[in-house]
Structure formats: structure tokens, C-alpha cells
Amino acid sequence: MGAVFHRRRYFAPFPRGLSMVVRAVVLDIEGTIAPIAFVRDILFPYARKHLADFLADHGDEPAVASEIAAVRQAAPGMDVTKALLGWMDLDLKIPPLKALQGMIWQTGYDRGELRGRIYPDVPPCLRAWRERGLALYIYSSGSVPAQRLLLGHSDAGDLCPLFSGFFDSKIGAKREAASYQAIAAQIGVDASDCLFLSDVEAELDAARRAGWRAAQVVRENDGTVGSTRFPNCAILPDADALLESWNT
């Protein structure tokens, strides 16, 4: 009797439902859950094409005017539209440019001219993970408002409710371990219980240096070259086998 009681107490901290080691899955967007071509060939050209009209139509609105003022400060004496187009050509991540691109995309999504392209294997997989108690997060270099637009107006509907939080480069660069330490601290999950999924090996290296688990999503469509140092997933559900193997 005493022995049974003792054994029960011993097993009590490991109930079946909580046996999974990974508790949080953090996902990159481009090349991981969305085709790189969507951002490169649809989103960025859309912002470029509509920039001049957007500034003419909305330049007097306070939110837009303050970004225009920030452009003038960063590029003194330059024509605002020309300065922004030049930054776009160089793919510079200058805050007022990112803010204005986000506003232009917002109008595009609102008008139904833009719709976020998400790989079809992603939504059912994310729903299944949520049902199993995993917390889901996004960590992308695109701004959090841009992330919410893409996921909120996706071709699979509004995917934002599936996520417990969103991170962008404000928390740190994706190739630095400190960023992943900061994310783990913020979501309150031990580093070893966090899984990062991305197509870029250098980002996975940074996550691993922070003590995270990491796997590479290798989308044939994006031309991703598979790493030999990380488990490869051709589609998101391939990570299920990894999650299972990491069970305690």
C-alpha cells in the first residue's frame, strides 16, 4: 500500500497531457508559412506602385504626416516620394518607410486587392497544435502590424486568433541569440521548451545558441537548401514526428 502511494506521488508530476516537452512553437513567416514570392513579388511592388497616390490622398492625416516628417528628417532636402522609392530600391528597413508600407498594405487588404498567401499545409497544422495545448508565436522581420495584416487577411481567413503573440525585430535581430532569450523570457517558457521553425539556417543557429530546439522548414517552392545541422521539414506537419520524439 505504501509502495503504491509512493509510486503515485512519484508519477504525479508527469500527467500524460503535459508530457510534451515543447510548449511553445515560434514561427518565421517568409519561406516558412508563406511563400517568399508573396512578399517579394506582391507586397513590396504593391507598396511601390501605390506610394505616390497614397501620399497625395492621405498626406494630411496626422499619422501619415508624422511619417512624412520623419522621412524629411532622414533625407533632408530630398523629395519625399523619391527618398522613399530610393530606400525601397535598396531594401532599407527605415522606420518611416516600414510604417508607410504598412499603411499602404492596410488599404490594399481593406479593398480586397491584397490577400495574405499562406501555404495550405499551415492552417490545419497550427489548429492541431493549438488543440494539443501548444502556444504559437510569430517571429518575423516584418513589422508586427504587417504580420497581423498578412495573417488576418490570409487566403485561409483570419489566422491571428491562433497566435498567442507576435514579435518583430524590435525584440532584436533574428540572427542573434539574445533575441530568442528575450522572447522566451517574455512568453514565460523555458528556452528548452521552445521550438523555432524557420527556413534560414543562421536564424536557427541563433535560436539553438539560446538553448532552443530548432528545425528548418525546407520549402521546395522557395528553393530552400536543406541544412545538415537541423532536422528538415518539407511541410509544417513534418514537425509532428520531431515533437513526438521530444516527448518525455
Question: Nearer to Mg ion by C-beta: 51 or 146?
Answer: 146
Q: Kindly calculate the radius of gyration of the chain based on its CA atoms and give it in whole angstroms.
A: 21
Q: How far is the CB of 32 from Mg ion (least distance, A)?
A: 5
Question: Nearer to Mg ion by C-beta: 54 or 163?
Answer: 163
Locus of grid cell 516628417: 69
Q: How far is the CB of 40 from Mg ion (least distance, A)?
A: 11
Q: Which amino acid is at 40?
A: R
Q: How far is the CB of 134 from Mg ion (least distance, A)?
A: 20
Question: Nearer to Mg ion by C-beta: 67 or 201?
Answer: 201
Q: How far is the CB of 217 from Mg ion (least distance, A)?
A: 8
Contact 195, 22 (CB under 8 A): yes
Question: Nearer to Mg ion by C-beta: 31 or 123?
Answer: 31
Residue nearest to Mg ion (CB): 31
Q: How far is the CB of 239 from Mg ion (least distance, A)?
A: 15
Question: Nearer to Mg ion by C-beta: 148 or 219?
Answer: 219
Give residues in contact with Mg ion (CB under 5 A): 28, 30-31, 199
